[in-house]
């Protein structure tokens, strides 16, 4: 067995996703504890041009399985390729993004390798002896548990996108690149078609400023005002689960345990009570401003600026104030 950390890169439409660079970032930190190497496994078809990005963000070596069977994400061929590479390279740790792809792939691989898997980790720490401490939320973020996997290897973990920080990109970095061949078994599942549903042009994970809508402003007219405010600020809008369930906001804008994790420079929460599930997705924002009528709302426990006021009435007035400042 090696000391190394193997990251399963996530690519969609042959583009490596941010979570992969975040996993490389945390792995560089973890690798210091026991002098390990950071390896990345890239799976796909015609994905060779993605290697440079993976190297630039900090991989020591990159393994590539490039095959038509891996063009679209499918459980069986991906599991087969990942399992083969893990058996060959014997990493100490395997990290996978906790996306709808990683959360399908990782348990299948872990069961095949008969090893432990810890889901949706938000914190990872490496001990000098190479044992990994994996901290994850449970009970909707009400409780946290630190999990270890003492006796089986590799130690496997999925990590939520948006939680870990990537390293600075360095185009001068070099790494060993190795192509690996896999003989794929015929797939028992047939891909009929693939449909892309792009949320909107703006992604809530990339926004500098987020205006967040909660149940307290749960009417279309108020949400429209929140959108107007968000765009005036050069940011975008997001919401708690309640408004997504009510069909008022698209699900790709949901922040929280079952939605996305965000850490914008400013998070402006309007009418959000702050269920722990929601807080889990936004509490690392740099500046949190919360407006809620209910002074006992939990959102105030994480807010840097907590304002007890009627959010529906603050929204239009705030937009005017912002416009004044921008014009001045």
Partner 1 sequence: MKIIVCLKQVPNTTEIKIDPVTNTLKRDGVASIINPDDKTGLEVALQLKDKFGAHVTVISMGPKQAEKALGEALAMGADRAILLTDRAFAGADTLATSKTIAAAINTLEYDLIIAGRQAIDGDTAQVGPEIAEHLGLPQITYVNNVEYSAEENTFTVQRQFEDGYQLLQVQTPCLFTLLATAEKPRYMRVKGLVDLDKKEVEILTRADIVIEDAVLGLKGSPTKVKQSFNKQYNSNKQKFVLDPAEAAKLIATTLKEKHLI
What part of residues 62-121 is at the interface with partner 1 (CB under 8 A)?
72-73, 75-76, 99-101, 103-104, 106-108, 110-112, 114-120
Nearest-angstrom CA–CA distance, 282 and 164: 13
Q: Smallest distance from the beta carbon of 67 to partner 1, in angstroms? A: 18
Nearest-angstrom CA–CA distance, 307 and 295: 8
Assign 213 to helix, strand or coil: strand
Question: Which of 35, 129, 197, 327 is in the footprint of partner 1 by CB under 8 A?
Answer: 197
Paired strand residues for 38: 5
Nearest to 43 by CA among 1, 5, 6, 77: 77
Q: Smallest distance from the beta carbon of 99 to partner 1, in angstroms? A: 6
Q: Smallest distance from the beta carbon of 64 to partner 1, in angstroms? A: 23
Count of residues engaged in binding partner 1, rule: CB under 8 A: 91
Q: Smallest distance from the beta carbon of 172 to partner 1, in angstroms? A: 32
Query: Which one, 177 or 284, has the nearer CB to partner 1?
Result: 284
Q: Which of residues 225-254 bind partner 1 (CB under 8 A)?
A: 233, 252
Q: Which of residues 19-48 bind partner 1 (CB under 8 A)?
A: none
Q: Smallest distance from the beta carbon of 57 to partner 1, in angstroms? A: 21
Q: Name the CA radius of gyration of the chain, rounded.
A: 22
Q: Smallest distance from the beta carbon of 159 to partner 1, in angstroms? A: 13
Q: Which of residues 252-271 bind partner 1 (CB under 8 A)?
A: 252, 257-258, 265-266, 268
Nearest-angstrom CA–CA distance, 146 and 131: 12
Question: Which of 24, 175, 209, 272 is in the footprint of partner 1 by CB under 8 A?
Answer: 209
Q: Which of residues 124-183 bind partner 1 (CB under 8 A)?
A: 133, 137-152
Contacts 24+ apart (CB under 8 A), 63-66: 63/39, 63/89, 63/177, 63/178, 63/179, 63/180, 64/177, 64/178, 64/179, 64/180, 65/41, 65/179, 65/180, 65/181, 65/182, 66/179
């Amino acid at each position: 067995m090696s000391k190394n950390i193997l990251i399963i890169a996530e690519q969609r439409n042959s583009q490596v996703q941010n979570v992969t660079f975040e996993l490389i970032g945390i792995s560089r930190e973890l690798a210091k504890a026991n002098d390990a190497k950071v390896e990345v496994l890239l799976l796909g078809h015609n994905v060779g041009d993605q290697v440079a990005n993976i190297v630039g963000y900090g991989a020591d070596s990159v393994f590539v399985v490039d095959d038509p069977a891996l063009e679209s994400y499918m459980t069986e061929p991906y599991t087969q390729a990942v399992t083969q590479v893990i058996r060959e390279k014997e990493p100490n740790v395997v990290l996978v993004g906790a996306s709808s792809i990683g959360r399908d792939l990782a348990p299948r691989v872990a069961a095949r390798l008969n090893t432990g898997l810890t889901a949706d980790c938000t914190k990872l720490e490496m001990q000098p002896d190479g044992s990994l401490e994996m901290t994850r939320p449970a009970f909707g973020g009400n409780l946290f548990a630190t999990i270890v996997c003492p006796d089986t290897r590799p130690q496997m973990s999925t990590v939520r996108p948006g939680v870990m920080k990537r390293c600075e990109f360095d185009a001068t970095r070099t790494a060993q690149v190795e192509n690996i061949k896999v003989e794929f078994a015929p797939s028992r599942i047939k891909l009929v078609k693939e449909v892309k549903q792009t949320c909107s042009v703006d992604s809530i994970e990339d926004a500098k400023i987020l205006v967040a809508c909660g149940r307290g402003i749960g009417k279309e007219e108020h949400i429209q005002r929140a959108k107007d405010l968000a765009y005036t600020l050069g940011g975008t809008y997001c919401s708690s689960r309640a408004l997504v369930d009510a069909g008022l906001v698209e699900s790709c804008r949901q922040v929280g345990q079952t939605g996305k994790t965000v850490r914008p420079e400013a998070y402006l929460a309007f009418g959000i009570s702050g269920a722990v599930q929601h807080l889990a997705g936004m509490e690392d924002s740099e500046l949190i401003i919360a407006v809620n009528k209910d002074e006992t709302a939990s959102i105030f426990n994480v807010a840097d600026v907590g304002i007890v006021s009627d959010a529906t009435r603050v929204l239009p007035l705030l937009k005017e104030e912002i416009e004044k400042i921008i014009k001045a």
